[in-house]
C-alpha cells in the first residue's frame, strides 16, 4: 500500500503533467499586412513537437477553415496565381468581386479552405500561410465601419505520428482540393495570440 506522502506525490506529479500539457497548446498568430483595400492575411500555427508521439517519418498537413465576412473577398484568380508560389492549395467559392458590400446579399460569411504542409523544426511543427484579401467598397458615410475576421478552424492530419493534444472533433473533409476522396481531419484546440 502507498503511504499518504506517496499518494500526495503521485497526485502532484499527475497535476504537473496535466498542467504541462495544457501549457503546450498550439498557438495561432494572425496579422493583416499592407494598407488600404488590398491587404494580405498572414496566419501562422505553431504546434509543440511534444504534442506528437511516434514521430519517426512524421508527415503532417494543416487545413485552415477560414470564415470571412461579406465586406471582404478573395479573388480566386489571384489566389490561384499566388498559391502555386506560396505552397498551398485552396477551395473557395467563386465571388462577384466587382459587387460592393451593400449589394452583396448572397451571404454574410463565406468560407475558404486552405491546405498546406506542416514543417518540422527542432521543437515544433509550423504552418505559415499568407494570402491576399480585399475589402469591398461601401456606401459613402461620415463614420467608419468596423468588421472583424474570425480566427480559422485549424485541422491537422498526420502520417506516422499521433497527435496527443486536445482534439475538438474529427471531420470528414476532402483530402485535397483536387479530389473528392474524404479524409479524417482533427480540429485542434489552440491559443490565439492574434494581432487582429
Number of domains in the chain: 1
Give the domain extent around 138.
4-192
pTM: 0.81
pLDDT tier at 58, thresholds 50, 70, 90:
very high
How does pLDDT run across 6-20, given as a tens digit for each residue?
655 555 554 445 445
Collect all residues with Cβ–Cβ distance below 8 Å to 126 and sequence separation of at least 6.
44, 45, 46, 47, 118, 119
pLDDT: which is higher, 84 or 31: 31
Structural contact between residues 157 and 63, judged by C-beta atoms closer than 8 angstroms: yes
Q: What is the pLDDT of residue 96?
A: 65
Could you tell me the end-to-end alpha-carbon distance of the chain, in angstroms, rounded to an integer?
Answer: 55
How does pLDDT run across 104-122, given as a tens digit for each residue?
666 667 788 999 999 999 8
Amino acid at each position: 500500500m502507498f503511504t499518504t506522502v506517496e499518494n500526495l506525490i503521485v497526485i502532484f506529479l499527475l497535476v504537473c503533467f496535466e498542467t504541462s500539457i495544457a501549457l503546450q497548446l498550439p498557438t495561432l498568430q494572425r496579422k493583416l499586412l499592407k494598407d488600404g483595400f488590398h491587404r494580405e492575411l498572414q496566419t501562422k500555427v505553431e504546434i509543440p513537437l511534444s504534442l506528437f508521439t511516434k514521430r519517426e517519418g512524421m508527415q503532417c498537413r494543416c487545413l485552415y477553415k477560414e470564415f470571412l465576412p461579406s465586406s471582404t473577398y478573395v479573388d480566386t484568380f489571384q489566389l490561384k496565381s499566388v498559391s502555386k508560389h506560396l505552397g498551398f492549395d485552396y477551395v473557395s467559392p467563386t465571388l462577384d468581386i466587382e459587387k460592393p458590400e451593400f449589394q452583396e446579399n448572397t451571404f454574410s460569411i463565406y468560407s475558404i479552405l486552405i491546405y498546406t504542409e506542416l514543417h518540422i523544426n527542432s521543437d515544433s511543427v509550423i504552418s505559415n500561410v499568407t494570402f491576399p484579401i480585399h475589402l469591398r467598397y461601401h456606401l459613402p458615410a461620415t463614420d467608419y465601419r468596423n468588421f472583424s475576421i474570425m480566427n480559422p478552424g485549424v485541422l491537422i492530419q498526420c502520417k506516422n505520428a499521433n497527435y496527443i493534444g486536445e482534439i475538438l472533433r474529427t471531420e470528414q473533409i476532402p483530402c485535397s482540393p483536387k479530389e473528392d476522396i474524404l479524409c479524417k481531419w482533427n480540429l485542434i484546440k489552440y491559443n490565439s495570440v492574434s494581432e487582429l
